[in-house]
Structure 1
Amino acid sequence: MNGAPATRYVAEEEINLRTVTCPPPNPFLDTAKVSENHEKNSLEFEYIEHERINNGGSFELVPLSEEDDNEAEVFDNDKHRSSASTAPFSEDDYHTSGTMLPKSVYQYIYPPNVPRTVQLFHPENIAVPACYLLVGLLQGLSGPFCNVYPLDLNASEAQQATISSLKSLPSTFKLAFGFLSDNIPLAGYRRKSYMLIGWAVTSLSMCLLLLFSDLSMEAVELSQEENGEANNDRYLPVATDAIIGAPPSIPFLSFTLLMFGTGFWFADVMGDSIVAEKAKLEPESSRGQLQSTCYACRFFGLMVAAPFSTVIYSSYGPKAVVVLMAGLPALIVPLVYMLKETKNLQIASTKEQCSEIWSTVCSRAVWQPLGFVYLYNVLQVGNAAWKQFLKTVLGFTANQLNSLLIAAYVLLWVGIMAYKKFFITWSWRSVYISTTLLNGVLSALQVLLIKGITFGLSPFLFALGDDCFADFIGGIQFLPTTIMMVHLCPSGSEGASYAMFTTMSNSASTLSDAISTLLLGIWDVSKEAMESGDLQGMINLTVLTTLLQISGVLFVGLLPRTKEDLASLHADPLSGSKIGGFIFLFVTFLSVLYALVVGVLNIIKPGWAGES
């Protein structure tokens, strides 16, 4: 075990008993079912229960000899025996012999107070943070590519909307992906096989784009010259649709990006499901660290890949970006192969899982806090005319706008790390109240920028600070809700339930974007008004959106203060409500339907929303 001798523990009253504090049982989980699931999934608690003390739970442990360090014997109160991987180390037992790492670094990577199955950087678990890192890298690489390359192909605004919709359309099926993996194991595995398929499809889609089209800028320019007279200097995809070596047609590019999105979201759901399972094994003292580490990996990948993609595209063209998008998913395959997951588990019937999910969403511990998340996200209405103001009035160049985006990604990652390091012990209400009020102050500063008051700073630096700190705050707010969601998932249905919770949260952000677009019609914030110097509409719109964003704090009473409050809600026998569960599911499926309809309309009727 990494060069350190294994320590085995077994209950034995006669000699040198040591007492190790154990977290109280999780009231969200059916104890019998959890015990059964842990035994099935080899996600055993890595400490040995000898006797539960009435005062809140402590276990009496004693080290035995080090022979046969492959397994420890675990005895529960009924003296039933099962296998566990390794016992946790105390400070006295924990050391780093056989490694090149300092003890502090080693213990940071492999925390001694958590089970091995939650220590993400062991070979059998490394695929989990690698999956999150890959999600961030591919998001960062694909974003600039999908925004810029269609323009180089002279795609119309309607075609651009179609491409964007096809790439994101599979995200509306996250619930179906999770439900599939919960109910139909593939080759005996519920997550591992599907994750491999997801990343394989992602890589294959970009390989097809590389094989059947010429992604060099020279090919695009040549095709534009050949077709320029026929379509007013606009690239005609039909002329080169079937020619290998020509630039990709818009339909073929759209198809490959649809494949890319399908594989990407499929693998992402599997990663979330694994984390939802493992997070339940975290000790109370480190609760939330697992998810914060995974999302830190994800946003680090996004932070690095977005500017890297822009530089590569500008220097080497789109082909280099697509090569990376094809190659990176292939690199994770060996790690997924090493991922430890028990085969051939006994799966509850679909009817039983649906019944369990229904019972979960009827609980006040689910619909009340997630109701807050939905309302809060809906009210985070942005100023949809802000980018136009930066370009038209302040004269920001494309490079400056890209710099704002890159800096926002950096501060988003810093926000995630700040929560992991400093705010993870704060109550959820305190986090939301303080960050919402601070965000309101920063949003109000936009009014000063519109009026030209920048306190001696250049408009770019002033806007940079405003936009970036808003993303920093968003990073801090991101983790509390995801930590809350994962502990609401019923055992055995983590894939479908976590996908359902995140779908509801994301759909609120989609609705918020739609509201921000509708608000553009209240005052004149057109490009012409800005060019004429009439900025009163911009000031009014900024004040309105700032007030809407701050108003989300009015609903913070729906949010439990801590995980303990959340557990109390769930334990309350009177907390169930079929009406609350029905409203929750209605909003969730209506949101999925809305996203699906918009995506399909963008595909079958380009320009329906007014694009040219």
Structure 2
Amino acid sequence: MSNGDPVHKVWLFDEAHLARHDTTASDSPIAYVQALPTKTEFDDKDENNFLPDGALREGGALELMSREALGLLGQYVAVGIIYGCLPALLYPVYVKYLNFAGYQAASYSVLITLCWSFKVFLGMLTDCFPIGGYKRRPYMIIGWGICCACMCLMAFVPFPDPYISKTLGELPEATISKVRGGDFSNLTAAQKNMVNINASERSNFWILLSTLGSFGYMLANVAADAMVVEYAHREPIHIRGRLQSAIYTMRYGSSMAPLLIVGICMNGPEYDGSFNWSIGPNLIFGMLIFPCAFAIWSALFLVVEDRGVKPYFHSYVQNLWNLLRLRVMWQICAFRFCSNLFYNFDSTATLIIPSIWANVQPLTKSLFAVANTILVAFSIYIVGKYGLHWNWRTTIALATIAVMLIDGTILILTTWNILRNQYFFTTSLLPDSLPSGIRFIISGYCAVEIADIGNEGAVFGLVTTVANLATPLSTVCYKYIDSYFELTSADLAQDTTAVRWSVTYSYAIAYTLKLLCLAFLPLLPPQKAALQKLKRTGRSSSRAAAILVAVFVAALAFSFITNLMALFPQTSCYRIAGGNGQPTIKNNITICG
């Protein structure tokens, strides 16, 4: 075999696989692995796969109502609840209750998902370091244990008082909007004392624990993803992707419950809602303890896993590097990173417009978010049932363009006060996640085709991680660009023509960059067979692999540091953190700059 040929090696020495090949003269497992034939050296009855039916490993397709499948579904139900709830708290709790600025709100949304950028490392952990002979279940239990502990702490430590008390919440909407922008001229001295101007500065405890809790359930999710890849490998090519579609439909579907609870129960005066009652954030965190406990029980009593053989770490790393050198790997990663980097460009005004201009109540936002989740889950179901052989490029392009046209129209009409209505504005949220959902499920299909036996966790983690990493990086970029425009809460509260033009310019830049994401579609093979062909015939490149690793590490460090800076008063004014670049002075003391 020449040095430039693709290398495909196996690290999991299961008896079923060993029985299909003659061993070498050496009894050494490493020598045996080095002697295994590449995929192109197998008897090529089906040019794309090992088995005649197109499956990538033996065992047969998993029954969706079996114990194994129900155990996995239980993991994703819990993931859907936590993953649905924590981001849903952004608007009612952090934007309304604590009165976060736009750049601070963007940083919260990034920090609670930034841990997903470490999926590849945790995938390697579950692949290489079994606990008690098991590679997946123990990490599910550990991850959910961490998440459960964080939810307990956030539930029992008193949450800060709201920026606007319930009494002030009864004032006219115009007055409330000015108060949120920092204008207290219409308030009496007693009313000014009811404004908790330091509310946003006292939230770091919950933000950091939310980040740690996200890390915990993400660890469990990585282990579950690796098992899904193993089961998907057993599916014939004509139905491969069915299990993934069912699982992720369940994940999105289960996120509806927390959205409804947040929307209905966090709609009181302190949240700028229309109800005269509400529940505090502590109770929401207390409710999240139950799905964590359910996931632990599911991992203990429903998930089925056989003991595996611990791979040789040096051999694992070497073969993972060889996989990174393959064109199929770095090309898919390049597509995922570049495409998502541009697709996720937005404006920092997006998180403020609903509060100040459209007057969107938490209940309305949550109800539309539920409808959006139903639509996304339904789209994944349709792709899994009818679209397993659709052209991936065409599907992504059509969904992206359609959603941009809808969003752009609604945002312009709202910005220029042609039509400002909470129901009309939140309509733009309805189809917004469709392209993201389609991109996500297609990336899962790609990971299954690329992964070899034994490296399922690392490969699935890497293919999805590069997209997750693009999100915080694009957030940093558009926050830096928008720091030159008048897009703060105070600016939007003034609602001048200059402010409206600033918002328009910011969206013009964002949507132009969003369109550029379509330029990277040629990097994505149109379907599974084309991807398998690229894996067999594509050339390898150590330079491309080194660039991929270097960009990954640099982007991860940059994104984490800059988004963390936005949470602290001492660094939040810097443009790289989303501030305006001007020193922040409070009580005649310079606290930033």
What TM-score results when the alignment is normalised by the length of structure 2?
0.72
**What is the 5 A alignment of 1:461-610?**
461-521=423-483, 524=486, 528=491, 531-534=495-498, 535-572=500-537, 575-598=539-562, 601=565, 607-609=571-573
Change (3 A) 1:522 1:446: farther
Alignment of 1:33 onto 2:33 = no
For residues 469-501 of structure 1, the C-alpha deviation after alignment (integer angstroms, 9 at most, x for no partner) is: 232333233311221123222321222222222
> Offset of 1:233 from its aligned partner?
6.6
Corresponding residue number in structure 2 for 1:93: none
Change (3 A) 1:217 1:532: closer
Matched-pair contact (CA < 8 Å) for 1:216–1:319 = no
Alignment of 1:417 onto 2:362 = no
Inter-partner Cα distance in structure 2 for 1:177 and 1:205: 19
Corresponding residue number in structure 1 for 2:66: 122
Corresponding residue number in structure 2 for 1:133: 77
Corresponding residue number in structure 1 for 2:36: none
> Offset of 1:216 from its aligned partner?
11
Inter-partner Cα distance in structure 2 for 1:60 and 1:546: 46
Inter-partner Cα distance in structure 2 for 1:433 and 1:146: 29
> Offset of 1:154 from its aligned partner?
6.1
Matched-pair contact (CA < 8 Å) for 2:365–2:426 = no
- Unaligned ranges ≥5, structure 1: 1-26, 43-51, 62-81, 86-113, 223-227, 238-248
Counterpart secondary structure, 2:10 = helix
> Offset of 1:355 from its aligned partner?
1.1
> Offset of 1:282 from its aligned partner?
1.3
Moved more, 370-379 or 161-170: 161-170
> Offset of 1:209 from its aligned partner?
4.3
Whichever residue aligns with residue 506 of structure 2, its letter is L
> Offset of 1:186 from its aligned partner?
0.6
Matched-pair contact (CA < 8 Å) for 1:379–1:551 = yes
Corresponding residue number in structure 2 for 1:367: 330
Moved more, 504-513 or 473-482: 473-482
Change (3 A) 1:277 1:387: same
For residues 551-594 of structure 1, the C-alpha deviation after alignment (integer angstroms, 9 at most, x for no partner) is: 2222221111111111111111x511112111211121122222
Inter-partner Cα distance in structure 1 for 2:357 and 2:99: 27
Whichever residue aligns with residue 542 of structure 2, its letter is K
- In our comparison, the structure showing a higher alpha carbon Rg is 1
For residues 197-239 of structure 1, the C-alpha deviation after alignment (integer angstroms, 9 at most, x for no partner) is: 11122223323444x5457989x999xxxxx9xx9975999xx
For residues 229-285 of structure 1, the C-alpha deviation after alignment (integer angstroms, 9 at most, x for no partner) is: xx9975999xxxxxxxxxxx8576456435423321211111111112222111111
Whichever residue aligns with residue 39 of structure 1, its letter is A
Corresponding residue number in structure 1 for 2:587: none
Change (3 A) 1:364 1:310: same
Matched-pair contact (CA < 8 Å) for 1:217–1:317 = no
Whichever residue aligns with residue 304 of structure 2, its letter is K
Alignment of 1:199 onto 2:144 = yes
Matched-pair contact (CA < 8 Å) for 2:232–2:241 = yes
Inter-partner Cα distance in structure 2 for 1:468 and 1:280: 34
Change (3 A) 1:474 1:146: closer
> Offset of 1:364 from its aligned partner?
0.9
Change (3 A) 1:399 1:280: same
Whichever residue aligns with residue 306 of structure 1, its letter is L
> Offset of 1:192 from its aligned partner?
0.7
For residues 92-136 of structure 1, the C-alpha deviation after alignment (integer angstroms, 9 at most, x for no partner) is: xxxxxxxxxxxxxxxxxxxxxx52xx2243113322121111111
Moved more, 129-138 or 535-544: 535-544
Corresponding residue number in structure 2 for 1:435: 399
Inter-partner Cα distance in structure 2 for 1:320 and 1:150: 16
Change (3 A) 1:316 1:301: same
Q: What's the RMSD between the two structures over aligned residues? A: 4.2
**What is the 5 A alignment of 1:121-520?**
121-145=65-89, 167-168=112-113, 170-210=115-155, 213=157, 234=196, 253=206, 256-313=209-266, 315-337=278-300, 338-343=302-307, 345-380=308-343, 381-446=345-410, 449-450=413-414, 459-520=421-482
Whichever residue aligns with residue 311 of structure 1, its letter is I
Change (3 A) 1:396 1:173: closer
Change (3 A) 1:584 1:296: same
> Offset of 1:346 from its aligned partner?
2.1
Change (3 A) 1:449 1:216: closer
Corresponding residue number in structure 2 for 1:242: none
Whichever residue aligns with residue 127 of structure 1, its letter is G
Whichever residue aligns with residue 137 of structure 1, its letter is I
Change (3 A) 1:560 1:264: same
Aligned residue-pair number: 503
Change (3 A) 1:59 1:564: closer
Moved more, 521-530 or 538-547: 521-530
Counterpart secondary structure, 2:69 = coil
What TM-score results when the alignment is normalised by the length of structure 1?
0.70
Matched-pair contact (CA < 8 Å) for 1:377–1:505 = yes
Inter-partner Cα distance in structure 1 for 2:483 and 2:352: 15
Matched-pair contact (CA < 8 Å) for 1:140–1:305 = yes
Moved more, 172-181 or 593-602: 593-602
Change (3 A) 1:561 1:38: farther
Change (3 A) 1:398 1:599: same
Inter-partner Cα distance in structure 1 for 2:221 and 2:140: 8
> Offset of 1:350 from its aligned partner?
1.4
- Unaligned ranges ≥5, structure 2: 20-42, 167-189, 268-277, 585-593
For residues 421-470 of structure 1, the C-alpha deviation after alignment (integer angstroms, 9 at most, x for no partner) is: 3433211111122223323432442465257698xx87444433333223
> Offset of 1:506 from its aligned partner?
0.9
Inter-partner Cα distance in structure 1 for 2:411 and 2:114: 36
